[in-house]
Amino acid sequence: MKIAVDIDDTLNIVDRVGRGSGYIARKGLSFRVKDPDANQFANVFDWTYDDVVEFVRDGGISAFTEAEARPHAREALEGWREEGHTVVILTARPKELFGNPVNLSRDWLEKRRIPFDEIVAECTDKGRYCAEHGIPVLVDDTFETCRAAQRLGVRAVLAVTKGNRARAGEIAFCGANWKQIDERVRRILQEEELETLFARACPARRREVYDGWELRMDEGTSYRNRAVAPMAPSSTGFGEKVFVCEERYRAENRPCVFRLTASDLPLDKFLEARGYRVVKNCEVMTLAKIPVFFRTQNCQVYDTLSEEWLKDFYLLDNADADYADSVRSGFSRVGGSCVYVALREGEKTVAVCMGVREGDKVGLFDLRVHPEYRRRGYGRAVCERVLAEAKRAGAREAYLAVRSSNVAAISLYRSLGFGRAYLYWYRAKEP
Please state, in angstroms and as integers, the Cα–Cα distance from residue 87 to each residue in 5, 76, 155, following that order: 7, 11, 15
Q: How confident is the model at residue 431 (pLDDT cuts 50, 70, 90)?
A: low
Q: How confident is the model at residue 236 (pLDDT cuts 50, 70, 90)?
A: confident
| pLDDT (0 to 100) of residue 324 | 62
| pLDDT (0 to 100) of residue 307 | 87
Percent of the chain with pLDDT over 70: 96
Judge contact between 390 and 350, C-beta under 8 A: no
The three-state secondary structure class of 124 is: coil
Return all residues near 240 (Cβ < 8 A) that are at least 6 apart. Answer: none
What's the DSSP call for residue 70?
P
Task: State the CB neighbour count (10 A cutoff) for residue 382.
Answer: 28
| pLDDT (0 to 100) of residue 322 | 58
CA neighbor of 4 nearest in space, from 83, 100, 117, 102: 117
CATH topology identical between 2-177 and 300-395: no
Lowest-confidence segment of 123-132, 247-256, 320-329 by average pLDDT? 320-329
Domain limits of the chain? 2-177, 300-395
pLDDT digit string, tens, across residues 39-50: 999 999 999 999
| pLDDT (0 to 100) of residue 319 | 63
Averaged pLDDT, 270-277: 96
Averaged pLDDT, 373-379: 91
For the chain, give the mean pLDDT: 92
Please state, in angstroms and as integers, the Cα–Cα distance from residue 208 to each residue in 132, 205, 231, following that order: 20, 10, 12
**CATH architecture of the domain with range 300-395:** 3-Layer(aba) Sandwich (3.40)
Averaged pLDDT, 246-256: 93
Q: How confident is the model at residue 295 (pLDDT cuts 50, 70, 90)?
A: low
| pLDDT (0 to 100) of residue 396 | 96
| pLDDT (0 to 100) of residue 219 | 74
Percent of the chain with pLDDT over 90: 79
**Interatomic CA distance for residues 418 and 398, integer angstroms:** 8
Q: How confident is the model at residue 234 (pLDDT cuts 50, 70, 90)?
A: confident
The three-state secondary structure class of 92 is: coil
Averaged pLDDT, 246-274: 94
| pLDDT (0 to 100) of residue 147 | 93
Q: How confident is the model at residue 169 (pLDDT cuts 50, 70, 90)?
A: confident
| pLDDT (0 to 100) of residue 325 | 65
CA neighbor of 358 nearest in space, from 198, 158, 135, 187: 198
Q: Strand 277-287 relative to strand 397-403: parallel, antiparallel, unpaired?
A: antiparallel
Using alpha carbons only, what angle is made at residue 175 by residues 171 and 180, rounded to the nearest 5 degrees?
140
pLDDT digit string, tens, across residues 128-141: 999 999 999 999 99
| pLDDT (0 to 100) of residue 109 | 98
The pLDDT of residue 220 is above 70: no
Higher pLDDT residue, 267 or 336? 267
- SS3 sequence, 250-301? HHCCCCCEEEEEHHHHHHHHHHHHCCCEEEEEEEEEEECCCCCCCCCCCCEE
**Interatomic CA distance for residues 367 and 310, integer angstroms:** 13
pLDDT digit string, tens, across residues 400-430: 999 999 999 999 999 999 999 999 999 998 6
Give CATH superfamily name and number for 2-177: HAD superfamily/HAD-like (3.40.50.1000)
pLDDT digit string, tens, across residues 319-368: 655 566 666 767 777 877 999 999 998 889 999 999 999 999 999 999 99
Task: State the CB neighbour count (10 A cutoff) for residue 269.
Answer: 11
